[in-house]
Structure 1
């Protein structure tokens, strides 16, 4: 309790005690009387005052456009467990949900006080910074979380501020296309899907028109940066060594924009990227996967020699099963299923590995994702885990349920539980950014070998770990993301206890006077050193996933929504 503001402790204790007593006595807690929601003024869309991107000249137009697949949605397999009335919604669970909400409110209030309309709060010094164009990234990213947490007054204030953003004004010469798409465009679209406020869709369209111009290149492949003057002059080109996840991870956002507006051009833009992925999948040095960096200008995957599902490549793979869902099994979706199945066969064989741990450390099977290098002398596998690659558990779980692959469900569970295990292994209760483990093959027998541990392991670290090469924790969401999806898929209530342990570790290790901060070293035995950084995904993803795992299962059901890589839910249509 000490991690929360003092003014909240007494009322919260009283609430918990009361609800818990009622639960133990098997009494029902009466619902408060239903009152009409207070009337709120409608949001008013404010057009950006500068350049109108909807009138910009296209130097490399395409005809005909690939149309958005239409028609009735196919009946897809259910993703979520059939909870019925058996989900645990007791006083303890509700108290945990309220504590997550309190952490969000504490962070949000400090953002409002010290960094309003800036991209990020600096949670140690109470300052601000603008790494994403100065377009209020935290505010836009947090809109749907405000809505889910029933902070409606805050939502409407923030939403009006969001539709007032002038996207034609920035101190930068351009923007990071990927980040602006997943945070800003994704945030506006999901806020619209949840609230139905037309002004939010109008703002998303205005931003979408700008981002669409990034595809105006000779081969219609976008670059990593959208540089405004280059776009206006028609001299944009795709990159020759760009992260593979960057141009390939905008498909959900552009597809949802096309669905909501009826404009085929948005779908056409990302479908050309899909076509490139499909035709190049068997051409890389590891057929079936794409390298972590790709020559999009020449549309070649032959030069990249690093293969991972972690940093630089992660959401490329994440979006394959999610796009199948977003398209509702209609025309075009089979391509994503085909690419997913082929890629995951290779990932399972060549990227996943088992850590060598003592039996007492975990009863459940554990898997991590490493990195494969292809050199002239042959392949080299590095058993380096990443916090970023913890999303993979959720990906395998979704793919396994969608496509009826039981082995993928089991793989997803092993990956998700491994990240929960890594959190518990360190004294701070959180896992490092990068770490190496003593490893076995993906399916090999993995008995503890004391001599091998003595040779390779670091005795200062938990059993099994060779190093914590980057010992920071950056408030990342990927581990709780997969634990949340595992809970929704299996219904295993013990996963909520795993999530609670993770949440407590984060609270203990990251709290500052104003909010919560990235920390420098998860191996610290005492007070942690703070980095004065609180990226927008803290409010958009990390706290959202913690809130959702303690919420009733019908809140943002995975059978009703698709969550983008920034945890923004889009309605399945």
Structure 2
């Protein structure tokens, strides 16, 4: 528990004459959260430049009092009862040697120093902005203008034992005004995973009730997007029209499936903590639709990338993936099952049937020069010729190794743990075989005919490279194409050469380490961390890279002036935790949301 005193303590302090003047000068809400320790004084919030979009506002506290156009007759409650005794997820670790502990703690400290450097720059140059601009300095607003990096990093500050920084950030976070925004349209999914998830995790770790109050404030806003005739949400939400009551809301006829299906963990935890069933009811209605239509899609077991919430039709599209635009839908099934203590078997069914279809139609083994025993999650499209697999690997899909391993443990399926290992090893392989040791956003491979071993065939590989290059002529110079496209052996194309500080690969490496106890994953994580630091470090923090295969005038890949909040919330947190004691945020005690915010499981 952070030492943030209740108001009655402050009254006592106020009686002391030397403190009276100071207390009168403090803002009411900041006063209610004033830490007993003395944090570093906050940098003043930056002023808005003439070229920036001005904020637009709704009346304060409007979301809680707004008239509901489509009231519910009944609410589906969070299941009650004693949680099931679920299988243990984490490996039973044995004591490490003194030498191993020294190495581990040294690496952990270096990760912490990298985080502190970024946090200090954010504090000095972008305080209360959504993101730090890591090359130019200053800040930008990209997620509502509600200090996304600050809220996203609250639990990281706590986990890394930066308690003074946490206290100061908590004071600032409680003062964020969610009745105003820099954006006309709010992304409900991003707001849920970053802000609601951030406040919930910070509360679960610290016990500070003001942070739970703030989570409720965000939750009240999010619920308004569900006020539609069929109670399906509007995920790209014109909040200003909703606030003004200009018109009744109708859900869209086009939505990304991940945005619809990735709200369950956060909404469930909020209902668990408050006893208010509205949030669980909202996502339970969505789960019911997914459950009813799981066997009716064009690849039974999976749901397409695009769905129609207006008609509650989850079947019409023919594109499928575990990667971007679908990923966290599947990630949340096993996690929601654990968060509910195993009391809702629907989530086990959703997980098992979707993973069975993924194994059959999406996973593939790439052909590599060494015959590496690895897997990747690809894409599939259903057309008149049937199901066509696309051997495309996304950095976003690297989360799948951890998903399979976690589900395998929770549902006692050793095959899934092994699949998780091969998927994780695939992303490690992609890191190690890129010239700078960092995997780009999207790549293509030559798949093996089956997931059994297949020998390296140079002629077959050359043909695949030519096909991706759009050339089938026997006179095409394959060596020139490979050099021009900067293709390492085994890669047939690099579709998107960026690395934007993504966490998915280290996420799975961390989970595999905690599940198997294999310290090889710590070594792989350290190599990944060093490689990322080498190409992303700037004067102020860390920056996204526009092309991991290129070399700029400084001898390093060119950088972009972006540092998304997930660098602080996810990537550095997972690197820190893999070098921590295993009982720090145990997978048997917490569920991570898709933004790496740990939410406490029922005991």
Taking structure 2 as the reference length, what is the TM-score of the superposition? 0.86
Residue of structure 2 in register with 1:128 after alignment = 139
Please list every run of 5 or more consecutive structure 2 residues that lacks an aligned counterpart in the other structure: 8-27, 33-57, 466-481
Work out the CA distance in 1 between the residues paired with 2:499 and 2:2. 41
Q: What is the CA-CA distance between 1:87 and the residue it aligns to?
A: 8.1
Measured against aligned partners, the alpha-carbon deviations of 1:2-30 in whole angstroms (never above 9, x if no partner) come to: xxxxxxxxxxxxxxxxxxxxxxxxxxxxx
Residue of structure 2 in register with 1:17 after alignment = none
The alpha-carbon distance between structure 1 residues 45 and 352, as it changes in their structure 2 partners (threshold 3 A), is farther
Residue of structure 2 in register with 1:71 after alignment = 81
State whether structure 2 residue 593 is matched by structure 1 residue 556.
Answer: no
Q: Contact (CA 8 Å) 1:87, 1:491: kept in 2 or not?
A: no
Measured against aligned partners, the alpha-carbon deviations of 1:127-173 in whole angstroms (never above 9, x if no partner) come to: 21111110000000000000000000000000110000011111322
* Aligned counterpart in structure 2 of residue 409 of structure 1, from 399, 414, 417: 417
Q: Contact (CA 8 Å) 1:430, 1:502: kept in 2 or not?
A: yes
Residue of structure 1 in register with 2:521 after alignment = 495
The alpha-carbon distance between structure 1 residues 49 and 42, as it changes in their structure 2 partners (threshold 3 A), is farther
Q: What is the CA-CA distance between 1:231 and the residue it aligns to?
A: 2.7
SS in 2 for 1:144: helix
Work out the CA distance in 1 between the residues paired with 2:138 and 2:511. 35
Deviates more, 1:541-550 or 1:299-308: 299-308
The alpha-carbon distance between structure 1 residues 42 and 481, as it changes in their structure 2 partners (threshold 3 A), is farther
* Aligned counterpart in structure 1 of residue 162 of structure 2, from 128, 148, 151: 151
* Aligned counterpart in structure 2 of residue 341 of structure 1, from 339, 343, 352: 352
The alpha-carbon distance between structure 1 residues 235 and 502, as it changes in their structure 2 partners (threshold 3 A), is same
Size of the alignment, in residue pairs? 532
The alpha-carbon distance between structure 1 residues 397 and 322, as it changes in their structure 2 partners (threshold 3 A), is same
State whether structure 2 residue 217 is matched by structure 1 residue 206.
Answer: yes
Residue of structure 2 in register with 1:316 after alignment = 329
Residue of structure 2 in register with 1:259 after alignment = 272
SS in 2 for 1:281: helix
Q: Contact (CA 8 Å) 1:216, 1:231: kept in 2 or not?
A: no
The alpha-carbon distance between structure 1 residues 150 and 441, as it changes in their structure 2 partners (threshold 3 A), is farther
* Aligned counterpart in structure 1 of residue 121 of structure 2, from 110, 134, 144: 110
Residue of structure 1 in register with 2:95 after alignment = 85
Work out the CA distance in 1 between the residues paired with 2:274 and 2:315. 37
Work out the CA distance in 1 between the residues paired with 2:240 and 2:526. 48
Q: What is the CA-CA distance between 1:236 and the residue it aligns to?
A: 1.7
State whether structure 2 residue 541 is matched by structure 1 residue 533.
Answer: no
* Aligned counterpart in structure 1 of residue 453 of structure 2, from 437, 445, 450: 445
Work out the CA distance in 2 between the residues paired with 1:392 and 1:239. 29
Q: Contact (CA 8 Å) 1:120, 1:534: kept in 2 or not?
A: yes
Following TM superposition, where does structure 1 have runs of at least 4 consecutive aligned residues deviating by more than 4 angstroms? 37-49, 86-89
Residue of structure 2 in register with 1:470 after alignment = 496
Which structure 2 residues correspond to residues 424-435 of structure 1 after superposition, within 5 A?
Answer: 424-435=432-443
Q: Contact (CA 8 Å) 2:290, 2:314: kept in 1 or not?
A: no
Work out the CA distance in 2 between the residues paired with 1:87 and 1:174. 53
Q: What is the CA-CA distance between 1:518 and the residue it aligns to?
A: 0.4
Taking structure 1 as the reference length, what is the TM-score of the superposition? 0.90
Q: What is the CA-CA distance between 1:334 and the residue it aligns to?
A: 0.5
* Aligned counterpart in structure 2 of residue 169 of structure 1, from 164, 180, 189: 180
Which has the greater radius of gyration?
Answer: 2
Q: Contact (CA 8 Å) 1:80, 1:558: kept in 2 or not?
A: yes
Deviates more, 1:310-319 or 1:520-529: 520-529
Work out the CA distance in 1 between the residues paired with 2:115 and 2:492. 35
Please list every run of 5 or more consecutive structure 1 residues that lacks an aligned counterpart in the other structure: 1-36
CA root-mean-square deviation: 1.8
